[in-house]
Amino acid sequence: EEAWADNRTKALDDIKFRAGDHWPESIKTARSKIGQERPMLVVDKLNQYVRQVVNDARQNRPAVKIRPIDDEGDIEIAQAFQGVIRHIFERSNGDIAVDNATECAVVGGYGYYRVTTEYAHENTFNQEICVEKIGNPLAVMLGLPGEDPLKADFAFIVDEMPKKQFKAKYPNAKYTDFDTDATKYSDGWTNGENLRYCEYFYCEEVPTTMHLLDDGTTIDDEGYQEAVAQGLPVPAIVDTREIPQKRIKWCRLSGAEILEENDWLGKYIPIVRVVGNEYNIEGKVIYSGLIRAAKDPQRLYNYSRSAFAERVALTPKAPWLLSEGQVEGREEEWQKSNVEPAVLVYKAEDLNGHPTPPPQRVSSMDIPEGFARDMTLSEHDIQAAMGMYSASIGQAGNERSGKAIMARQREGDTATFHYQDNAARGIRDLGFILVDLIPKVYDSPRVIRILGEDGEANQAKIDPNQSKAVVRMGSMAIYNLNVGTYDVSVDAGPSFNTKRVEQSEAMMEIVHNNPEAWNTHGDLIAKAQDWPGAQEWAERSKLFLPPQIQQAIQKQGNMSPDA
């Protein structure tokens, strides 16, 4: 808590500021005194920029790419991993978790989401993996600030549970609250009916003896001795070394005792951190988002708007200049002329019977132009603090050509691109967690659902007991996800739907310029469309393709992936 205290305090202030709490408490008190009330306007200029950055990230969702990195790895297994990860994301609404963490990073400097497991349904013992949102980033302490999340040795998640639910779930638990400094980050949110508890992940290292065999394979000593005891032919040992094996433990704590504890299946703590800006100041790492540098300019803008409103309210209304007796008997009509439309009648003579000109307005005191200039400067300072100017949020500029407009918009995107890049790094960390966890959760023969990049669902069979990575039985492939070692990278860019629209437009442009292309590519062109019946149109178009193309398609469909 000491290590995270500054980041949590500043992030909380940023979150409140983003929600509209712009005025410091001391100024609120001074301006709210009874009889001395003064305006405290909040004119939000920040959320439009936050939404721009967050929605850019939503439009360009990064995708996990799995690649084999050793001789035992298999391209088809890597693709199966990707399909399983897409299924996990769709089943658990993982995009919500990622979007929330990205928004937290843009606002307060950092956000989190986590990986959990649950039973696939109530009538099975098979487990499914979920990607879950962590709504409050201040409740999480993953390692130390600046530490690589995948190398963290501990993590805490502080949460609360209604007392009735706590008693029902843990009837024999000691009735003690978990009282920590985290209380100040949730004051006012509870009414005494909740109990605070804490999830705690920690790492234990177990020394393991590993052997290098003369056929180039490695095996731990336990597995080697078991093979020898069974009389199996094993290669000779070439080299031996001791390596620490990481094991992740999990427990849930009350203020008095351990309520639950289990071994986590994976070797990584299943929490992903997404950060905004990261500064190392004399060895102390500070995170910040888009809001922090823009708070002072936003306050100046609010001060100017409030002072302007106060000046307008206190400026007297323009009075009438007239001769004595000109409105005698009609005084009430003239008094109400500022607020009610009326036909104003006056006498054209003064009290002595001399003709007089009509009544005239007397100009009121002008409002200084400095207010407008100060508000303009404050708005410019807000944009400079964020690195985003009007064109970045769609405001028209002097540019006229499409290329010039896009170039100006890209300048704003470049200034905030590190938020999207950091979100992609979080996805990469998630990929490592899932690639490690999937074979351990799907640890028995079963049929699993996998999704293609286009969202099309297929089924695949896995068998962790088979010796080969992929075994084919007719048209069905059986995968062993435990075979081989795989690396994770991230493909950041437009989503599949965006690419599909671009593909469709490009195809239609080709057909427009070369109508003959329809005769050889009609099925592909129809398949790329998004209107009802496009798939049926594509299937029927295949029947009219030239015979040599139909033969090539049929041959390709019967070829194995290894051919």
Three-class HEC string of 30-46: HHCCCCCCCCCCCCCCC
pLDDT at 397: 57
pLDDT at 250: 96
Q: Scan for tokens 């023969």, then name that residue.
A: 445
Query: Nearest CA to 325 among 296, 300, 348?
Result: 348
SS3 558: helix
pLDDT single digits (tens) 470-495: 888 776 788 888 888 888 988 765 55
Q: Determine the Cα–Cα distance for residues 558 and 474; give it in Å rounded to an integer.
A: 11
Share above pLDDT 90 across residues of the chain, in percent, rounded to a whole number: 32
148 has pLDDT over 90? yes
203 has pLDDT over 80? yes
Higher pLDDT, 316 or 75: 75
246-254 average pLDDT score? 91
337 has pLDDT over 80? no
Q: What is the mean pLDDT of the chain?
A: 83
563 has pLDDT over 50? no
Q: Determine the Cα–Cα distance for residues 1 and 102; give it in Å rounded to an integer.
A: 23
Cα distances from 324 to residues 49, 55, 316, 336, 337, in angstroms, run 59, 66, 22, 19, 18
404 has pLDDT over 90? no
Share above pLDDT 70 across residues of the chain, in percent, rounded to a whole number: 86
556 has pLDDT over 90? no
Q: Find the largest Cα–Cα distance for the chain.
A: 135
The residue count of the chain comes to: 563
Locate the DSSP E strands across 323-420. 360-361
pLDDT at 189: 41
Confidence of residue 46 (pLDDT cuts 50, 70, 90): very high
Cα distances from 530 to residues 525, 526, 535, in angstroms, run 11, 9, 9
Higher pLDDT, 190 or 536: 536
CB atoms inside a 10 Å sphere around CB 469: 21
Residues forming a β-bridge with 244 = 207
pLDDT at 286: 95
559 has pLDDT over 50? no
315 has pLDDT over 50? yes
Residue 285 in contact with residue 142, Cβ under 8 Å? no
When mean pLDDT is compared across 54-58, 69-73, 363-367, 431-435, the lowest value belongs to 363-367
Supply φ then ψ for residue 261, to 5 degrees.
Answer: -155, 145
The DSSP line for 446-473 is: EEEEEE-TTS-EEEEEE-TTSSSSEEEE
132 has pLDDT over 70? yes
Global confidence as pTM: 0.75
pLDDT at 186: 46
pLDDT at 179: 56
pLDDT at 185: 45
pLDDT at 5: 92
Identify residue 508 by its one-letter amino acid code.
Answer: M
pLDDT single digits (tens) 342-358: 678 888 887 777 888 88
Q: Determine the Cα–Cα distance for residues 335 and 13; give it in Å rounded to an integer.
A: 49
pLDDT single digits (tens) 274-304: 999 999 999 899 999 999 999 999 999 999 9
Residue 327 in contact with residue 277, Cβ under 8 Å? no
Q: Determine the Cα–Cα distance for residues 110 and 141; give it in Å rounded to an integer.
A: 11
Q: Determine the Cα–Cα distance for residues 195 and 180; give it in Å rounded to an integer.
A: 12
188 has pLDDT over 50? no
184 has pLDDT over 60? no
Confidence of residue 187 (pLDDT cuts 50, 70, 90): very low
pLDDT at 411: 62
pLDDT at 558: 46
Cα distances from 164 to residues 195, 297, 422, in angstroms, run 10, 47, 40
pLDDT at 263: 93
User: Alpha-carbon torsion 31, 32, 36, 38, what sign?
Assistant: positive
Q: Scan for tokens 């937290």, then name that residue.
A: 104
Torsion angle, alpha carbons of 125, 129, 134, 137, to 10: 120
| Number of Cα atoms under 13 Å in the Cβ half of residue 260 | 13
